[in-house]
Structure 1
Amino acid sequence: MTTRKYKEMVEARTRETLQKWSEQSAVEEKDIYRFLHNLKGTSGTVGLDAVEAFSGNALLYFSDDNPRGWTEAEWGDYLYPLLELFGEPEITGAVPPQIPGIALSHGNIHQQYEILIIDDDVELVAFLRESLERKSYYVSIALSAGRGLKLFYETKPDLILLDILLPDRSGIDVLNQIIGKAKKERIPIIIISGEHSKDVQKYAYSLGVMDYVQKPVDIDLFLVLIKNRFELKKEWQESIIVDELTGAFNRKYFNQTMKQLLSDFRRTGRTFSLALLDLDHFKLVNDTYGHLVGDEVLQTFSELVKQSIRTEDTFCRYGGEEFALFMPNTPAEQALLVMERIQQSFAANAFQAKRESFQVTFSCGVTEVTEVEQNADRLVEEADQALYASKYNGRNQTKLYSKELMIQRETPLNVIIVDDDPLIRRIVTGNFSSWQPGNNTRIKVASYADGALFLESDWYAPEEKYIILLDGVMPEIDGLEVLEKIRSSYPEVNILVIMLTGRNNQRDIIHALQMGADDYVIKPFHLPELLIRIERLAHRFLF
């Protein structure tokens, strides 16, 4: 279905609604508000810019909680001019969403630097996010220290913007907690604060922050500063080949080794095997015992593997709790035996925390270079499929890749849209019905017309994961009420929530983020941008 078709559907629905209302003695003001609210979001999304602008202006004259009845003579002055806007030339310079022929990346997100903002000044945060995302950065927001620490440990941002004054604890306390790990991971920290004290600035610099930016912010200088710091970070990354936390080689060296081994294979025919290793239930270790204990587990694991392999083998930290091992002159069957031996040794290791002992295991997938398959990306994909076969079959084991290997992800990913606008639901579900985010993850898509239907449905299964797109304004139950019930009744670890809102009231955004929303998108949104944002959140779950 083309963009033009969606525009025609919006026009048809608008004419149908106004015709229906013209036959009624009166229409409640809250219904007019919801109609304009939905029309504003939908028309902007499908590229009807003039309709979007008109609807936004008309919204100012109506309230979403007023039951007052409006006659046709009253509401007609506001709404009938809408009909003249359909088919009008669209505003030049606007980039219409590409609906629905959007090719999702199937597991390969376009590389973006991720910035974590920890600041409770929501107006500034919203402005910074919009400005940074225009420069193709991805921005996560935390309005409190607690939320900021959680996102720091879970998402591993590329740069942190940290305020000194936070509602639950001092930004200096946050800085003291994360600076060591940030230095090891080479994550620059920039203080951005209204606190101008020279002593505070000196102390922050002494702890290891890269910059101290005073509010109010000159956005032009600020954006140049951010670009400069990422260029410096890139130079850091290119100058090192060892992951400081674990002592394993890093992703850069992984790529170099892969290139060298493939070149050697093509020249001499010498085979090699690639193993991908992933610690089982590692997030549970962090959640139960803390991230310092999690770091200890990673370091112990890395040291054990390095002691168990040959000099010619290459052990790399591939990302997070995932590692890779190159074994030259080693066929896959022999590599399997090596990995099983390492698994037995690591599973026997006892860790101590909170006056108790616990064990950690890892799963592994192995593939071997062949005459047929000499592509680096394909070799990684094969090892990855074998790895997830190990996960699916019970963990703490190694699987060899084969063409007959059937992969089913253990935890399906559900994408749920809760919105009273049927066109938005149709657009979103249509684009995700065939999405494959990588590693053959099974996607299930569902939609609900209002919050009450969603909450009353049997939507939740403990073993599955969810990304919920939740409209902020809906009849019967407001989106914020739905969010509150989600966060109070279900484990947060399995559910990510994106609020969709056309409201300009920043207090609603604050409330949603404080209640546990993971992100928000202001209607109207461009669909490709929304889909990329959802895919990135999915990778927080799956990789």
Structure 2
Amino acid sequence: MEKYTKHFFNNIRKKLEEWEAAASIPHEEVYRFIHSMAGSASVLGLHNIGESARKLMDHHNEEDERMWTITEVKEELFDIIQYCYHYEEESIEVFPGKQGRDGEEPVVLLIDDDTTFLMYMKDELEKIGWYVVPIANPEKAIMSYYDVRPDCAIIDIHMDGTSGFEVLDFFKKKLKQPFIPTVMVSVENSKEVRMKSYQMGADDFIAKPFDLDEFTVRVKRQMERKKQMEELVLIDELTLVYNRKYLSQAYAQVQSDWARRGDSYCVAVLDLDHFKGVNDRYGHLMGDRVLKGFASHLKSETRIQDTVFRFGGEEFVILFPHTSIKEACSFVDDIRKRFSQVIFQANPDFSCTFSAGVAEIADPTKPFDTWLKLADNALYEAKGSGRNLVRIDRKAMEHIPHKITKIAIVDDDPIIRTVMKDIVSKLPSEEHIQYDIQTFKDGASFIASDWHKGNPCLVILDGVMPKMDGLEVLEQIRSRTDSDRYKVLMLTSRKSERDISRSLQLGADDYMTKPFKLLELEARLGQMLKRMR
């Protein structure tokens, strides 16, 4: 029976491919195809498909003379196409202990030119719920550090072309970022190597081969240490948001991102209205409760990429990356409206408001104080206009176009293309980002297209295709002078370890093995798109 079921699905694929090449499809042909599925599916035990096909037959008259486009056909048959995918999805092996992803799991950057080690460690560490970014090219690792912003970096010392010590030196010195723990691993366990690792700033050294359970505990301990250090050094003790010490570090990240991407960044200065009156009337303990409540409100109402700081007293600062000034103003105004509805329990109960000024960081090569002063001026304008208001720096541009992120689905399977396009179209995006989605039935047509040029592009790339396979496409992408615009998710077979290894060597940003759970695909795409913002 399995042989005939595969033949049934292959027939659906062939028909979709045939229709994709046609300008239009006669209704009689579409109806005949649905009729055929209704009969065959039930015989093969594919009752969901058979039932869907029979319902479609009831909705259509065989004698109609209309012509269909391929888009209309796919919309009409989408439930059936999805059932076809889910039938194959049911055969996926579920690894014991593997956890689902919610986008908030710890992120580990794993740097090693041994792709077998990368594949094994990625598989094992993702079973416990970590998100692992495997990097086989040490030079790519340096740029990935900016994009990934990991909770821990694991670096092999001996790699072809580049020493792990060079990568460590870059992380520790050039990035001026001491709050990402680094763990060095090596088959060489000499005293000299261990001492050099620690002297250069590594937080731990683990000799290969190692016990995986011990390795996991030690890496987890480093990530917990990172969290504790942030809380002790950079977190305001009362409000538990970042303090002003972290502003210079955060602005350095803005400068780095802006130099590579040129996106819009904004800063907002917020000040509680009449806060002295709260302290005078209700006492300083109540004042502290208001400050903690305000900070908690800001953290819950801002996005994951935004950063909240307590600048001093009752004044707070928010950095908005990849955000136009109109969007930043709208975000702050929404926060203002909701905060005014928060009730603080006292005798009598009361509420608070705040005023805010917003400015665009138009040129991050200038000192941060430049933009802080503009936002502060706008804040004073809000105060002078009656408080409980948000004002924009008057020099700000009135409009900045939305950022376009292109998403290419390159796969020779029409069922996969259809299902993936539906998933991608439903992915959440920020207000200032628009997704432009295109599908390609082979690698050659993608490479020949001008559509993906000029904008950031996420490429979902099948490894095995006619004319030009995924590895050839990946190699061409990485040979481009603007290859950093592309993020590539490779789709491979479970039995193609050699292809996975080669894709990592060529610079794939992540990979998944077919067939895969659609929820897992959603989570991976969400992580990769977050790194592109």
In the aligned structure 2, how far is the partner of 1:363 from the partner of 1:142? Answer: 41
Match of 2:501 in 1: 510
User: How far did residue 214 of structure 1 move?
Assistant: 0.9
Question: Which shifted more, 322-331 or 493-502?
Answer: 322-331
Question: Which residue in 1 is equivalent to 2:230?
Answer: 237
Matches within 5 A, 1:122-521: 122-180=115-173, 184-240=177-233, 241=235, 242=243, 246-247=247-248, 313-315=315-317, 331-332=355-356, 335=357, 339=359, 397=396, 409=402, 411-462=403-454, 464-489=455-480, 491-502=482-493, 504-521=495-512
8 Å contact from structure 1 (residues 347, 360) kept in 2: no
Return closer, same or farther for 1:446/1:161 CA change in 2, 3 Å cut-off: same
Inter-CA distance 343–499: structure 2 relative to 1 (3 Å threshold): closer
Number of aligned residue pairs: 382
- Name the amino acid aligned to 2:148: T
Q: Deviations over 1:216-257 (max 9, x none)?
A: 12112212222222222222222232475644799xxxxxx9
Residues 272-309 of structure 1 deviation map (CA, whole Å, 9 limit, x = unaligned): 99999xxxxxxxxxxxxxxxxxxxxxxxxxxxx99xx9
Match of 2:39 in 1: none
Report the RMSD for the aligned CA atoms in angstroms.
Answer: 5.4
What amino acid is aligned across from residue 12 of structure 1 in structure 2? Answer: F
Work out which of the residue numbers 95, 109, 112 in structure 2 matches 1:119.
112
TM-score after normalising by structure 2? 0.58
Deviations 1:341-385 (A, max 9, x none): x979x88779xxxxxxxx99999898989xxxx9xxxx9xx99xx
2:110–2:132 contact (8 Å) kept in structure 1:
yes
Compared CA separation, residues 15 and 540, structure 1 to 2 (3 A): closer
**In structure 2, C-alpha distance between the alignment counterparts of 1:235 and 1:144, rounded to whole Å:** 31
Structure 1: gaps spanning 5 or more residues? 1-7, 20-47, 49-85, 96-101, 251-256, 277-304, 351-358, 391-395, 400-405
TM-score (norm 1): 0.57
The AA in structure 1 aligned to 2:126 is E
Over 3 Å counting, the alpha-carbon distance change for 1:322 and 1:219 in structure 2 is farther
Q: CA deviation at 1:439?
A: 2.3
Partner in structure 2 of residue 12 of structure 1:
8
Structure 1 SS opposite 2:433: coil
Encode CA deviations 1:159-203: one digit per residue, 9 max, x unaligned. 010111011121112222222467744111111111111111012
Unmatched segments (≥5 aa) in structure 2: 16-45, 47-85, 236-242, 252-267, 282-286, 300-308, 337-351
Quick one: distance in 2 between partners of 1:88 and 1:434?
22
What are the Cα deviations for residues 46-77 of structure 1, in whole angstroms up to 9, with x where unaligned?
Answer: xx9xxxxxxxxxxxxxxxxxxxxxxxxxxxxx
Compared CA separation, residues 321 and 138, structure 1 to 2 (3 A)? farther
| 2:460–2:489 Cα contact (<8 Å) kept | yes
Q: Which residue of the partner structure matches residue 65 of structure 1?
A: none
Following the alignment from structure 1 to structure 2, what is the Cα–Cα distance between the partners of residues 498 and 154?
15
| CA drift at 1:465 | 2.0
Paired with 2:119 and 2:249, the residues of 1 have a C-alpha distance of 38
Larger RCO: 1 or 2 (CA < 8 Å, sep 6+): 1
SS state at 1:469 partner: strand
Whether the 8 Å CA contact 2:109–2:154 is kept in 1: the answer is yes
Matched, 1:528 2:482: no
In 1, the alpha carbon distance for the partners of 2:445 and 2:190 equals 53
CA distance in structure 2 between the aligned counterparts of 1:416 and 1:249, rounded to whole angstroms: 32
Q: Say if 1:188 and 1:447 are closer, same or farther in 2 by CA, change over 3 A.
A: same
Residues 417-474 of structure 1: CA deviation (Å, up to 9, x unaligned): 1001111111110112233311242112111111122223332241x22111011100
